[in-house]
Amino acid sequence: MSILSAVLSAVAAANVSAAVKVIFRKSMCSGGQARALLQYYHIAGALMLVSVFGFPAYSSMPTDVFWLLVASSLCWTFGTLYRTKAYRDLEASETNIIGTLSLVLITAVAIVFFDESLSVLGIVGMVVILLSIAAGTDIRQFRFRKSVRDLLVSVLLISSALVIDRILTRELPIAEIAVSTFLLPSVYFLLMDLKAARKLPQIISSGESSFFWAPLLGAVRTCFVLFALAHGSLAVTYALLNTCVIFVFAYETVFLQLREGRMRRGAYCLCCALGAVMVTAYG
């Protein structure tokens, strides 16, 4: 039952993650400042989580666990910063290409360091996801420019954060990790750019209703991801998180009236969903 719950949590996290990505892309393309947006996102998310779970007991944590938590929060901080910067002018095709690289990386780490095994159906499922994403990608549009480098750095950092979080779920309650994922980065972002903090009142009073929901959705996503990591497989969790392209397509079709390439994108999203079902046979 716990494995099924982990799978459902990973799928739910992919759903919410798609909404957060769409909101961040919209805000950045509308001229938003990355650090100011991320300060608001993490401060608001931290306040929400602290109000529910309370402050983590840092003073009573083992030293090695505390430093793992700091390392995870640093990876999340800079990974999120680079990813947000990349949203300003990054094409979807480039995002998909790099996303496939991260899936391969996490799978290799899960096998080598966490002794996770591959079933035949799980291998086929991952290949289906990779091919589905590649099928919906126009390789000719790929350009290795600054935004692509930013996203590549982001993928490496966020992948590292997920690996560390997988370890932390064996040492700490999910609530403490979730709160720290927002609380510690909020401190880092404030120290990183105090001038950007002056724009927080403007962001709050701007009436940008879509970004108002980002911290809440991000907090929910974090809890889903941590639950999936705690009760399931690292590789399965990350493979299912990559299926967020399905939900992005759904949101664009329903809310943004997507017309161009809808049938083609819908077809590869269905294949991606099939791969997600198959990949749950992993391990």
Candidate from 36-45, 71-80, 245-254 with smallest mean pLDDT: 245-254
What is the number of domains present in the chain? 1
Tell whether the torsion through CA atoms of 257, 261, 267 and 268 is positive or negative.
negative
* Domain enclosing residue 227, as ranges: 2-279
Q: Is the pLDDT of residue 254 over 80?
A: no
Q: Note whether 279 and 144 are within 8 A (CB).
A: no
Q: How many residues does the chain have?
A: 283
What's residue 193's pLDDT? 78
Residues 6+ apart with CB under 8 A from 116: 110, 233, 234, 235, 282, 283
What pLDDT does 157 receive? 92
Compare 85 and 182 and report the one with higher pLDDT.
182
Average pLDDT over residues 28-51: 84
- Asked whether the beta carbons of 144 and 29 are under 8 A apart, the reply is no
Report pLDDT for 184.
94
d(CA 270, CA 30) in angstroms, rounded, equals 31
